Chains A and B, each alone.
Chain A
């Protein structure tokens, strides 16, 4: 089974802090994704990566950056956390051709 592991289930940070969310997958998938999930809005794509060091902006990239130095790891960075970034963050991975996405457990991030 594909395993997508997110480093934290719950995280509390302060406004202005730099926040790192880590995601690791163990199936050699080319694609990795970061979403945020908010009630009534579904999942919105922040960034995705289709290869090492390659990244594409999603629908809501403002205030975020990403890093993919190794194929199995995809990091989401909040450069200067703000309260409106309080949300559930989901990481996913997939193969390129016809692959459905496999999700991690999510990180509930609170910015105080």
Chain B
């Protein structure tokens, strides 16, 4: 069974600085999707970034980028130029590429990011 591990329960960053959130996963599949989700205090979970495992290029969305190391099964999220609005709980998630009944996401336990002004 697949598992996702986030080893940092809490992180803190100064406004305008860069922070990296760690995520490792375990799977025997060769193709899959990886996601980072953000859950601000208002609670709605929002997709931050997505990576397909067959793509070697790291995904980037504005100030958010990932470092995807497939062999090491590592998927870290880098937030550049941190803003107060980035304060949230961040979840790493895995999803099989197969369809149908395997469409579920497997989540890590989350990292609570605080942004200091």
- Residues of A whose CB lies within 8 Å of any CB of B are 31, 33, 35, 40-45, 48, 50, 56, 58, 88, 90, 92, 94, 96-106
Contacts and interface: CB of A to CB of B under 8 A. Distances in A.
B104 A88 contact: no
A44 to B, nearest CB: 8
A56 B43 contact: no
Given A33-B104, A50-B101, A50-B103, A41 B109 contact: yes
B interface, how many residues as a size bin? 20 to 34
Contacts of A48: 103-104
B43 to A, nearest CB: 5
B36 to A, nearest CB: 10
Nearest to A98: B33
A97 B45 CA distance: 20
Nearest to A43: B107
Contact of A104 (B42, B44, B107): B44
Q: Main secondary structure on chain A at its contact with chain B?
A: strand
A31 B101 CA distance: 9
Given A42-B107, A97-B99, A99-B103, 8 more contacts: A33-B105, A42-B91, A42-B108, A90-B45, A96-B100, A100-B47, A105-B44, A106-B44
Contacts of B44: 103-106
Contacts of B97: 98
Nearest to A33: B104
Of B6, B42, B46, B104, most buried by chain A (CB within 10 Å of CB) is B104
Contact of B103 (A88, A96, A102): A96
A104 B91 CA distance: 16
